[in-house]
Copies of this chain bind each other. A is one copy, B any other.
Amino acid sequence: MRVMIDLCIVPVGVGVSVSKYVAACQHVLTSAGLTPHLHAYGTTVEGEWDAVFAAVKACHEKVHEMGAPRISTTIKAGTRTDRTQTPEQKVESVQRKL
């Protein structure tokens, strides 16, 4: 089962600057063979369910290793059986209608 997720990881208890943790997660996702699409409020990733969520877990482990005692993450996850659609195709589908 393919899944597209939008991942927003917020480390809590390490001050207000979170960009170094987000950058570390980009590396974790890339190392997992995924292609992260970074945007201003999260990262979109598409792939097989198990691979994607194993990478999300690896992000949590990495951010804890970097010193964050608590992490508050928001994930949107979409699956569909009618067709496949990449992140780029989702954006194009809207842009054609603008």
Q: Chain A interface (Cβ within 8 Å of chain B)?
A: 1, 3-6, 8, 10, 12-13, 15-16, 18-20, 22-23, 26-27, 37-42, 44, 49-50, 53, 56-57, 60-61, 64, 69-82, 87-88, 90-91, 93-98
CB closest chain-B residue, reference A24 = B97
Copies of this protein, total: 4
Residue numbers in B under 8 Å from A77 (CB-CB): 56, 60, 71, 73-75
CB closest chain-B residue, reference A50 = B57
Bound: A91/B42 CA distance, A? 9
- Is there an interface contact between B10 and A41, defined as CB atoms closer than 8 Å? no
Looking at the assembled complex, report how far the CB atom of A90 sits from the nearest CB atom of chain B, in whole angstroms.
4
- Is there an interface contact between B64 and A79, defined as CB atoms closer than 8 Å? yes
Q: Which of B23, B40, B97 contacts A23 (CB under 8 A)?
A: B97
